[in-house]
Amino acid sequence: MTDHSFTFMGTAAGCGVPSFFCSCPACEEARANPRLRRGDCGVMVRGVDASGAPRSGTTLIIDTPPDARHQLLREDVRSVDELLFTHGHFDHIGGLGEYEYLVQLVRKAPLPTFGSLEALQTIGTEFHYMAGCLDATVLQPFDVHEFDGVRYTALPASHAPGTFGYLIETPSTRLFYASDTAKLPPETAERVRGVDVLAMDATFWKSNWSPNDHHSVQECIEEGLELGAKKIYLTHLCMHYDEPITYAELIEYLRPYDGRVEVALDGLTFPI
């Protein structure tokens, strides 16, 4: 029996799926089927009891995208105990203001918050009015943070300065989450080799417009297989860069991998 669950709160690149300005087949597919709609990226780790119900005081959230309130409501999250940040881009911090009310009205104490110096500096500038709401701690590359028996190792990713992926380790599972990254730096790659679960940036379909900052679907799969990941989840999906691909088409594309590679969906939860 595992003691924690991992939830994809959001699985889209910055413009979401569907994008309000887009009528491509992928966005129309998501309009027609709410299950296929994607908010901006974030994940949750929380402790669970023997019945699978969440334990109080154990909820950790990685990133606070603009969709944060809707994601928290969808998962029936009533309290958050810690925040980690991958980096300081808008699609990963834009919903932080929603947490002001949790702190002011319920917690009555600052919320422990962790990230790189660059990420926390950006947050401090963009959300200066929340200075008293966050108990911020700078993580250096390869620092380990422990919470509720889970280890989170901050590993450098190939994206904006100060971007981390997190190696998340429980007694039963090694999981690496890197929502925004191109090919992993060598030392990070060695640290995550052979993980049970790899959840990684798969922004582009076919042509990669930003090869120094993101993966395509094909590049994510290739690197995941090279690293020997037992299970690969594609996340940070745009679904219409470089050309649209529907979820149905992507599932068909992944069929030869026999379940080893899976498309993450908002709300997807599994034990770790």
pLDDT value for 23? 95
Taking the C-alpha atoms of residue 264 and residue 174, their distance in angstroms, rounded to an integer, is 18
Q: What confidence category does residue 1 fall into, taking pLDDT thresholds of 50, 70 and 90? A: low
Per-residue pLDDT reduced to its tens digit, 131-153: 999 999 999 999 999 999 999 99
Check: CB of residue 260 under 8 Å from CB of residue 271: no
pLDDT value for 242? 80
Per-residue pLDDT reduced to its tens digit, 168-189: 999 999 999 999 999 999 999 9
Check: CB of residue 197 under 8 Å from CB of residue 163: no
What's the CATH code of the domain at 164? 3.60.15.10
Tokens 């190696």 identify what position? 167
Check: CB of residue 44 under 8 Å from CB of residue 10: no
Domain extent, residue 154, equals 4-271
Check: CB of residue 142 under 8 Å from CB of residue 157: no
Per-residue pLDDT reduced to its tens digit, 26-74: 999 999 999 999 999 999 999 999 999 999 999 999 999 999 999 999 9
Q: How far is CA 155 from CA 72, 103, 202, 220, in A?
A: 26, 29, 18, 17
pTM, entire model: 0.97
CA triplet 204, 210, 152: central angle to 5 degrees? 80
Per-residue pLDDT reduced to its tens digit, 203-246: 999 889 899 999 999 999 999 999 999 999 999 999 988 889 99
Taking the C-alpha atoms of residue 50 and residue 35, their distance in angstroms, rounded to an integer, is 28
Helix (H, G, I), strand (E, B) or coil at 8: strand
Q: Look at residues 140, 231, 148 and name the one whose alpha carbon lies nearest to residue 192.
A: 231
Per-residue pLDDT reduced to its tens digit, 75-132: 999 999 999 999 999 999 999 999 999 999 999 999 999 999 999 999 999 999 999 9
Taking the C-alpha atoms of residue 216 and residue 105, their distance in angstroms, rounded to an integer, is 42
Q: Kindly report the number of other CB atoms within 10 A of residue 147's CB atom.
A: 18
Helix (H, G, I), strand (E, B) or coil at 165: strand
Strand pairing partners for 82? 60
Taking the C-alpha atoms of residue 230 and residue 23, their distance in angstroms, rounded to an integer, is 36
Q: How many folded domains does the chain comprise?
A: 1
Q: Look at residues 71, 73, 64, 122 and name the one whose alpha carbon lies nearest to residue 97.
A: 64
